[in-house]
Amino acid sequence: MTDLARLSLNQETIRQWSLPELVEGCVAADVPGVGLWRAPVQKYGVEAAARLVRDAGLKVTSLCRGGFLTDIEPAARAKALDSNREAVDEAAALGTDTLVLVCGGLPAGSRDLHGARERIADALAELVPYAATAEVRLAIEPLHPMYAADRCVVSTLSQALDLAERFPSEHVGVVIDTYHLWWDDTLAEGLTRAGAQNRIAAFQLADWVTPLPAGVLLGRGQIGDGSVDFRWFRDRVAEAGWTGPVEVEIFNERQWERDGGAVLAETVERYRAHFQ
């Protein structure tokens, strides 16, 4: 076992790579895990992607993403549930037990955060039996509050746990992503609570760098470039009992313009310097 035994590279970190390039790059760099996204996997073919990763000896640590469960209109809601069931099937086919959920923002014209959060709970109640049968755990990802309107009304770990708690921990967990949660002074107690309930389903790393770009989606920073105290996260998440993968997930347009191998080498170096 190398010192990279827990490291996983989320596919979007090096979006410029095809799936075969990703697999080849991770194998060459001794990175044993990959986090995959539905769109590129579907494009390559789910079964083919599963075989490619498996044959290379890599582990799929999570599939991103299900969710978007806040629609009010029945047809949109049914479509979202169907899509989530497909995502569960894809996760199972890829050999991962973790489907990350970005739960959805406010529907157009709505200002009802509480109602949107309750619709997520209702949708989870519909999805949990299906996911349980497939042995896939639904992982609620709290997103930074700056995404509350348009991506995810679940903005804090505490909110994510409030939702997850309504279901058995083996079926519904939470994602700890440093980018989304670093600012929160109640995070330590949230991690303790998550640990006590065995709710941590995934642990993702990205740094917080400013200024944020327009749209605030593609400005996640390389580990060590910003304000996140990664060792603090490492220690608190370890105390909460998480011994699973540590997935680096950085969406950054400047990183996507670079050579993929250079980005991966830098990521491994930063992981060693700032996390280990």
Which amino acid, one-letter code, is at 45?
Answer: G
Q: 113 near 145, Cβ under 8 Å?
A: no
For residue 106, state whether it binds a copy of itself (rule: CB under 8 A).
yes
Smallest distance from the beta carbon of 167 to a copy of itself, in angstroms?
A: 19
Smallest distance from the beta carbon of 183 to a copy of itself, in angstroms?
A: 4
Q: 138 near 66, Cβ under 8 Å?
A: yes
Total number of residues binding a copy of itself (CB under 8 A)?
35
Q: Is 248 helix (H, G, I), strand (E, B) or coil?
A: strand
For residue 252, state whether it binds a copy of itself (rule: CB under 8 A).
no
Q: What are 106's two structure tokens?
A: 């406010």
Our CB check for a copy of itself shows the closer of 51 and 232 to be 232
51 prior amide bond cis, ω within 30: no
Angle at 101 between CA 96 and CA 106, to 5 degrees: 170
Q: What are 271's two structure tokens?
A: 């992981």
For residue 166, state whether it binds a copy of itself (rule: CB under 8 A).
no
Of 82-90, 141-149, 165-173, 244-252, the segment contacting a copy of itself by CB under 8 A is 141-149
Q: What CA–CA distances, in Å, run from 26 to 16, 19, 29, 174?
A: 14, 11, 5, 26
For residue 226, state whether it binds a copy of itself (rule: CB under 8 A).
yes
Binding to a copy of itself, residues 176-215 (CB under 8 A) = 182-186, 208, 210-215
* The only residue of 24, 86, 89, 112 in contact with a copy of itself, by rule CB under 8 A: 112
Binding site for a copy of itself (CB under 8 A): 106, 111-114, 117, 144-146, 148-150, 153, 155-156, 158-159, 182-186, 208, 210-216, 226-229, 232
